Amino acid sequence: MTISATADEVAVGGPTESADGASTLAAAREQLAAAAARLGLDEGMHAMLSRARREMTVTVPLRRDDGSTTCYVGHRVQHNLSRGPGKGGLRFSSAVTLDEVRALAMWMTWKCALVDIPYGGAKGGVTIDPQQHSAMEIERVTRRYTSELAEFIGPERDIPAPDIGTDEQTMAWMMDTMSANRGYTVPGSVTGKPLLIGGSLGRTDATSLGVAQMALAALQHVGLRSGQTTAAVQGYGKVGRGAARFLAEAGVRVTAVSDQFGGVSNPGGFDFDALDRHVRETGTVTGFREGDPIGNDDVLQTEVDLLLPCAVEGVITAANADLVRAKAVIEGANGPTTPAADRILDHRGVLVVPDILANAGGVIVSYFEWVQANQAYWWTESDVRGRLRERMVAAWADVARTAAQAGCTLREAAMSTAVGRVAEAHRVRGLYP
């Protein structure tokens, strides 16, 4: 048997973290520090909230289809458990680092608190490029990662969900592995799984729908009507694709979209049925005949009313924030705007709907799925969407009201609300000796 290390493992499995992961964590901690200062939290409380409750790093050996063995690194970070079990996605990407997972877990804590669902924040990742592996290899990685963490995850402890590089099939493998280890089926151990084994109607496009709802709320907030507005979507994937379609159905003209390979623009808007066929056939939006080729940076700088960064962290920075020409930025991704860029956009009068509000639709419906699984009673799609809208609209109203009363940005209002709720949960529970 041959054992080899991959470039993925060497790049992210060593003792140092990438600059991107470190900067993402620094951004998350800077946001927390600002909220802690506004709330007047003492140093001890701030210190507890800035650190993860529990971190697990595991080796994930993979037996390849050719008989060789490759080792990857997996992480699971449970940032805070004071308001309930951990909740957060699992991503498969060669860019995964422990610092990145720490930041994403922290943002999950604030997101769950902001929309007032009884979860803490968690996140996981494996340093693997799924595009370089067969389905059988990805299944083996998933099951090994799950078994390594079996004592730390589950419906009462930490409930994973899909993220970048993972999907409902990944969740099915995780649930089956958890169930096999326990000796009985545990449908609440993950969310975002197939309907056939306890998934929820409305879960697949929940994040996209929530992003679109917040985008429409932002339009109203700045005095625009959806039938007379335009949008650009950076990151035409799980979240961006659905959000673009929902906005188009609401009358917003989406004039530019992009993915990791590039982008296309069409001032008249897109035929999304045709665009989606092209993406299924080619794996990218580039080369779509009904649009002109543009770069990812061009999408961020497109003159539109709404800009939706829906891909990864840190795409709007101090280097390009002055070039953003949208009236409002709706953060479909986690952490797409750096703190320095946030200040620039605020100074320029660009409204930013923060990630912990804008993309909370996914975790809200994950909560609904978990509730349904625990009760063994499933809701209709109309029920799910109606309750999602209620939660999103209530959270928007709460954040907008707080921002107006305090004279601060939507992010400052959202973070103050979320951090305050988690800090209060800490106080009520007390500190175990």
- CB count within 10 Å of CB 257 equals 30
Q: Give yes or no: 87 in active site.
A: no
Say how far residue 297 (Cα) sits from the centre of its chain: 21
CA distance 139 to 117: 31
CA distance 350 to 356: 18
Residue 177, both tokens:
């592995």
Half-sphere exposure of 372 (CA within 13 A, CB side): 25
- Active-site entry in 87, 111, 123, 193: 123
Are the beta carbons of 399 and 417 closer than 8 angstroms?
A: yes
Whole-Å CA distances, 214 to 118, 209, 312, 346, 423: 22, 9, 19, 18, 26
Q: Is 106 exposed, middle or buried (0-12, 13-18, 19+ CB in 10 A)?
A: buried
**E strand segments, 115-219:** 120-126, 158-162
Are the beta carbons of 80 and 113 closer than 8 angstroms?
A: no
CA distance 421 to 432: 19
Half-sphere exposure of 423 (CA within 13 A, CB side): 22
CA distance 213 to 352: 14
Are the beta carbons of 204 and 291 closer than 8 angstroms?
A: no
Give the residue carrying structure tokens 């943002």.
107
Give the residue carrying structure tokens 């956009």.
345
Residue 11, both tokens:
């790049």
Residue 116, both tokens:
């007032």
- Name the maximum alpha-carbon separation found in the chain: 66
Residue 35, both tokens:
């909220």
**Strand 306-309 with 230-234, pairing:** parallel
Nearest residue to 365 via CA among 191, 243, 227: 191
Under DSSP, the state recorded for 154 is: B
Catalytic residues: 123
